[in-house]
Structure 1
Amino acid sequence: MPTTKPAPSAREQELLERAYAYSLTHGLADLSLRPLATAIGSSPRVLLFLFGSKDGLIRALLARARVDELELLRQLDARYDEPPGLTVVARELWTWLAAPERRPLMKFWVEAYGRSLVAPEGPWADYGRSTVDDWLELLKASQPDPGSAEAEARRTAVLAMLRGALLDLLATGDLKRTTKAVEDYLGD
């Protein structure tokens, strides 16, 4: 009989939120439990007890980051009664992705996405793939005829363009230039 993990305790949830805030500013690449625990008012032993291992904590942090991304997708989905079109949704996505207050989350995403490519068996497993699937699903829902091969290719191209522009923005900080590139690509 399969066992399910009980709902997280209030303390586990609190520490996860603190660890998430910490990881948004410090990243995950060199995550060490001792400095993290000190920064969030805990101990390495408590973190290991609550999350099982460092990998368990990383998986929990990746899941927490995905919650923020999926919330955007839900918000966009709820705003329209009918598919608004790929261009409208792509512009809204760019505005959300490029907002200065989201830079820490976007840097976190880039780091986690990259790690999922080079360490596909570890705690990063499937992170990259799942985010691609999430975003493609949102873009698919915005298209009036999403089932065609042409529609699939178009949403894949839009996603690639948004992610490329995001990488460029994060590397250079040049919002004006990257936004112009997005607008030029999307056209009228």
Structure 2
Amino acid sequence: MVAHVLAQPAQGQAGVAAAELVRAWLAAAEHRPLLRLWAEAYARPLVEPGGSWAGFARATVDDWLDVLAACRPRPERDGPEGAVRRTLALAVLRGALLDLLATDDEQRVTAAVHRHLEMLRRGGGDGA
């Protein structure tokens, strides 16, 4: 999904580009059945911490943060500010996904994510 962004030199707005690619994949109607299953699996360890899905939510967060980190140069990737930016990008994307799954209102949710990414572009932030 983000392979071609990850293959580019990590500079400029690469984090925003990666977040946009992730957003597009998450918003694709053909992925909704899989993402509904993901949402169920993500929530399960929150209610049954020792159950069969134990650790899944944490592993999912770590995996996505790693994907977003791979888009950044090492100094930004390894610093605490980079971790904060990636966490914010992931939180926005995950929240938008849950909202989309709950409402199927792709237009509104996509507009909100685009607004967030545009604010990052204008503010010189990189989103990830």
The match for 2:112 is 181
Q: Which of 84, 92, 98 is residue 167 of structure 1 equivalent to?
A: 98
**Of the two structures, which has the highest relative contact order with CA contacts closer than 8 Å and spacing of 6 or more?**
2
**CA contact 1:86–1:143 (8 Å) conserved in 2:** yes
- DSSP 3-state at the match of 2:72: coil
Give, in whole Å, the separation in 1 of the partners of 2:112 and 2:90. Answer: 14
Q: Which residue type is aligned with residue 93 of structure 2?
A: L
1:142 matches 2:102: no
The match for 1:82 is 9
Give, in whole Å, the separation in 1 of the partners of 2:88 and 2:61. Answer: 12
Residue 118 of structure 1: CA displacement?
A: 1.1
1:153 matches 2:84: yes
The alignment's TM-score, normalised by the length of structure 2, stands at 0.84
- The number of residues matched between the two structures is 114
Superposed counterparts of 1:116-135, under 5 Å: 116-135=45-64
**CA contact 1:77–1:138 (8 Å) conserved in 2:** no
Q: Which residue type is aligned with residue 107 of structure 2?
A: K
Q: Which of 10, 16, 23 is residue 94 of structure 1 equivalent to?
A: 23
Residue 156 of structure 1: CA displacement?
A: 0.1
Give, in whole Å, the separation in 2 of the partners of 1:105 and 1:82. Answer: 31
- DSSP 3-state at the match of 1:146: helix
CA RMSD of aligned residues (A): 1.3
- DSSP 3-state at the match of 2:54: coil
Query: How far does the alpha carbon of each residue in 1:97-132 deviate from its partner, in whole angstroms, 9 at most, with x for none?
Result: 110000001100110010011112111011101100
Residue 139 of structure 1: CA displacement?
A: 0.4
The match for 2:124 is none
Superposed counterparts of 1:10-21, under 5 Å: none
Residue 180 of structure 1: CA displacement?
A: 0.6
Any gaps of 5 or more consecutive residues in structure 2?
A: 122-128
Give, in whole Å, the separation in 2 of the partners of 1:95 and 1:161. Answer: 13
The alignment's TM-score, normalised by the length of structure 1, stands at 0.58
- DSSP 3-state at the match of 2:78: coil
Residue 78 of structure 1: CA displacement?
A: 5.0
